[in-house]
Structure 1
Amino acid sequence: MSPMPARATEINADFGPRINTRLARYNDDDYFGFQPTSRDELPDPTTLVENLARSVLEIIAGARDLDQIARWVSDDVYRHLAKRVQIAVRARSATGAAPTRPAFTLGRTIITEPLDGIVEAVVIVHGRARTRSVAFRLEGLDHRWRATALHVL
């Protein structure tokens, strides 16, 4: 990336190269988008993974607001969770059930690092009636972890 944008040029057969007066545009994502961060500059992801798993299950159950984890998830994950919350709200309203905080304990947490600055993790969650798993893909962006994929199984 150079500080000055490159000028667009054309070849003119009669007079040689001609400089176009329009400047090439900056790619805003190069300057203002999320910047990847190396694993060495990021904290241990275990605590974040466990807290996100707990929060996601509480959000789906209606006991927590989705906006509380907005800074830790990507826009795609946020939209996916918003759809899941809407479906859960409709299901609760059809049965007349009130939102309650789910009772569960966190089991084993498995974390792998396929590439520098990327973590894939699974948290096993034991509830009263069933055991679930929450799978994540975290990417180091702007010196913090962000969940770019999330699945509740």
Structure 2
Amino acid sequence: MQDPVRGTVVPRVERWGGGVIAAYHHQVVPLFAPGVRDESGLGSERDRPLATLDPVIACSMLATAALEVISGARALAQLARWVTPGIYEDLDQRRRLALAEDGTGTDALLSRPAPGRGRPKVRRVRAMPVDDRVVEASVVLAYADRVHAVAMRMVDAHGFWRAEALVVG
């Protein structure tokens, strides 16, 4: 489905088992500057708007959210706009493996965070700009008496940051 106003990722909802849980599949819809086309018929890269959010803040928010998804404290569908479809599938697989290890078998869409765990706390963010529209970063988080490292590559995708690569350790 295409959102003609924003031109961003729009989830398509498929209901399973009587409409209890929804699975979100998304597609990338290109957004071009109005009236600007290059020889291929696509909008020029330099004419697209730059992301207004500080990349360090975007990296820390995404790393925190990814760790919460894997632990079952956040719904994966909330990250659909911020990650590529490949990363979305990888996070879904990692979340399912964590649920299987946990032994509870509950789905993260329906579960609540364990009491006393709180949210992950960002200890350090190191972001290195590759160019105007690409940032590579490492984020160190403390969560549930453990320290986790998250590495990512963020790309300015038409005015907002989107993760092209994401590794949670």
From the superposition, tell whether residues 135 and 37 of structure 1 become closer, same or farther in structure 2 (CA, over 3 Å): farther
Aligned length: 124
The runs of at least 4 consecutive aligned structure 1 residues that moved more than 3 Å come to: 35-40, 101-104
Percent identity reads: 30
Q: TM-score, normalised by structure 2?
A: 0.63
SS in 1 for 2:74: coil
Higher RCO (CA 8 Å, separation ≥ 6 residues): 1
| CA displacement at 1:53 relative to structure 2 | 1.1
* Aligned with residue 145 of structure 2, among 122, 126, 129: 129
Q: Is the 8 A contact 1:106 1:124 kept in 2?
A: yes
Residue 78 to residue 95, structure 1, CA distance change in 2 (3 Å): closer
CA deviation after TM superposition for structure 1 residue 130, in Å = 2.2
Question: Closer, same or farther in 2 for the Cα pair 1:50/1:109, shift >3 Å?
Answer: same
Match of 1:84 in 2: 94
Kept in 2, the 8 Å contact 1:39–1:117? The answer is no
Correspondence for 2:63:
53
Match of 1:73 in 2: 83
More strand by share: 1
Aligned 1:2-151 pairs, distance under 5 A: 2=39, 31=42, 36=45, 41-43=50-52, 44-93=54-103, 100-101=113-114, 102-103=117-118, 104-151=120-167
1:19 is matched with which residue? none
Cα 1:52–1:37 change in 2 (3 A) is farther
Distance 1:128 1:58 in 2: 11
More helix by share: 1
Runs of at least 5 residues in structure 1 that lack an aligned partner in the other structure: 3-26
CA distance in 2, matches of 1:132, 1:86: 19
The answer to whether structure 1 residue 152 and structure 2 residue 168 are counterparts is yes
Bigger shift: residues 127-136 or 113-122 = 127-136
